[in-house]
Structure 1
Amino acid sequence: MVFSPAMPEKPYHVRSISMPSTSHPLVYKVEEELNKLKTWKTTPKSSSRICIGLGELKDLYDCVEEFLQLPLTQQALHHHQQEKWVEEVLDGSLRLLDICGTTRDVLLQMKEHVKDLQSTLRRRKGGDSGMLSRVDAYICHRKKVKKEIGKCLESLKGMDNKYAASLLLDQDYHLSLVVNVLREVSTITKKNFGSILSFMSSSRPKQKPSKWSLVSKLMHKGQIICEGEHEVRSEVENADAALSALCSCCGEIEMVQMAKKRLEELEQRIGSLEDALECMFKRLIQTRVGLLNILTH
């Protein structure tokens, strides 16, 4: 059976690999890891779940690396290296590396701006015009980040569109299995990267009401509650809301303390994502190098 191509903003669904009873145990292991990720519910609002998803993704790549080392797999790849799907696989692996690298760079920039703003808030008191100007600078940076993230998300969609119509091989069962596995791994990888990018770009819709209707000065378990909002928000959204409240309330000390808390939470989450993404970046390089070695020897 073939893999169903996944489309952005829809559930990533792929049919199971149809395997004969003689399939190598590693094939079952790869399918098991794929099924874990296919049923794993990630959400852009939950950075902790995104990190867990990246950990599961690394486990999948470990299994794929073993799968690629099988003599039957290497023979199938080597004998068909001139076919169109090889270009698809190699081009896809390179684009995933580019997106992973860009995502990692955006995370690093975002962390640096968060730390810089934290330093400003620690040194200054409420009502400081210089402090508010630094907050405005951070908000401007967030807008630039969203544009860059938008380009990355479009690139992910472009990968789906480019390969959606590609024909699967049917003349060789194991070769078809290899192609399908690599495509499905690519789809799962894009899903995880998309979750990270969406997490970093998340924000509340812009509002322009009066000072006190923008943010009710209500505290519920230490969290600012915007009027009409009850859903769970990400650390990015919480930080954005706290900074908006800080500006709208002219830097009142209570809002300064809340903003500092939210920025600290955001910095911790960015750090966790950065570590997980660094591991994935290295794993993607290893997988690409492994493929190139098989195809050139």
Structure 2
Amino acid sequence: MAYHLRSGSAPSSPRSSKPQVEQQLQSLSATISSPLATIDTTCEGLRKLADIYSCIEEMMCAPSNQVSLCRTLQRVAVEAELGRSLVVLDLCNAMQETLMELKMTVQELLLVLKRGEDTTCQVKAYIRLAKKAQKQFKKISKKTTSDKNDSRVVMLMAEAREITISLLESTSCILLKQIEMPKWSLVSKTLQKSKVLCEEEQLRALECSIEDLESGVELLYRRLIQNRVSLLNALSL
């Protein structure tokens, strides 16, 4: 069963310290790299990552951290991280568009399957979209390395950004595995009616899962925007 996200998720620990946030980031990183990762765990990962960004935002809004961020040396690092965060926002936008297109393709696949027609065209379209997203994230992930920095807030932002890119890339990989060409291209010709109904049920579940991912990415995008606003406000003090 797909995990349904709540759009108004609140931080699990509003006063999280740096060690606690680092522990959450490490745990999330392990989940992403696990070969057992699924769409459900990815949806949960998006929610947790949004919570982490909220914790980081609270840390950067602390008076002592705001003073630190405004220092000359730290300001350079903060401005660099602000620039890199734009890349992540662009990736979130790209993922939202991909998810919307994938959902539409799944809906078309359902209609074709019900009519008993050849599904090759829709399956190829789905695979093409998922592969395109996968290549995009691999390309971007090589360009967003961070410099070492003494600011704990900037360091946590950099770690969260790198994990965000990894999570979005992992999402595209998992989505690609949901439909296999040999299985689906001839499904309407080779399966009995009961089997076709089973495949329809799986496609509906995939559609719901993609909707969950859409909600997760949207929540993450909003938290990223909030982080940028808070960081810009800190620099303007």
Deviates most, 135-144 or 267-276: 135-144
3-state SS of 2:220 partner = helix
Match of 2:24 in 1: 33
Match of 1:279 in 2: 219
Matched to 2:65, the amino acid is: T
In the aligned structure 2, how far is the partner of 1:253 from the partner of 1:149? 34
Task: After TM superposition, give the deviation of residue 111 of structure 1 in Å.
Answer: 0.5
Higher relative contact order (CA 8 A, sep 6+): 2
Q: Is the 8 A contact 1:44 1:196 kept in 2?
A: no
Q: Is the 8 A contact 1:51 1:272 kept in 2?
A: yes
Q: Give TM-score scaled by structure 2 length.
A: 0.80
CA RMSD of aligned residues (A): 2.6
Task: Please point out which of 160, 163, 176 is paired with 1:188.
Answer: 163
Task: After TM superposition, give the deviation of residue 86 of structure 1 in Å.
Answer: 2.6
Cα 1:25–1:280 change in 2 (3 A) is closer
3-state SS of 1:237 partner = coil
Match of 2:55 in 1: 63
Cα 1:31–1:45 change in 2 (3 A) is closer
Match of 2:172 in 1: 197
Match of 1:48 in 2: 40
Cα 1:52–1:241 change in 2 (3 A) is farther
Matched to 1:149, the amino acid is: Q
Cα 1:99–1:63 change in 2 (3 A) is same
Match of 2:66 in 1: 74
Cα 1:43–1:157 change in 2 (3 A) is farther
Which has the larger Rg?
1
Q: Show the 5 A alignment for 1:1-297.
A: 26-40=17-31, 42-43=34-35, 45-80=37-72, 83-122=75-114, 124=115, 126=116, 131-132=117-118, 135-145=119-129, 146-160=131-145, 163=146, 166=147, 168-169=148-149, 175-202=150-177, 236-237=178-179, 240=181, 242-246=183-187, 249=190, 253-297=193-237
- Whose helix fraction is larger, Structure 1's or Structure 2's? 2
Match of 2:11 in 1: none
Cα 1:140–1:25 change in 2 (3 A) is closer
In the aligned structure 1, how far is the partner of 2:37 from the partner of 2:199? 19
Matched to 1:137, the amino acid is: C
3-state SS of 1:74 partner = helix
Structure 2 stretches of 5 or more lacking a match? 1-14
In the aligned structure 1, how far is the partner of 2:105 from the partner of 2:128? 12
Q: Is the 8 A contact 1:104 1:274 kept in 2?
A: yes
Q: Give TM-score scaled by structure 1 length.
A: 0.66
3-state SS of 1:121 partner = helix
Task: After TM superposition, give the deviation of residue 28 of structure 1 in Å.
Answer: 3.8
Task: After TM superposition, give the deviation of residue 177 of structure 1 in Å.
Answer: 1.9
In the aligned structure 2, how far is the partner of 1:31 from the partner of 1:39? 12
3-state SS of 1:158 partner = coil
3-state SS of 2:142 partner = helix
Q: Is the 8 A contact 2:123 2:179 kept in 1?
A: no
Task: After TM superposition, give the deviation of residue 143 of structure 1 in Å.
Answer: 3.9
Deviation track 1:238-265 (CA, whole Å, cap 9, x = no partner) reads 6x5541341663x754553343122112
Q: Is the 8 A contact 1:121 1:256 kept in 2?
A: yes
In the aligned structure 2, how far is the partner of 1:78 from the partner of 1:88? 13
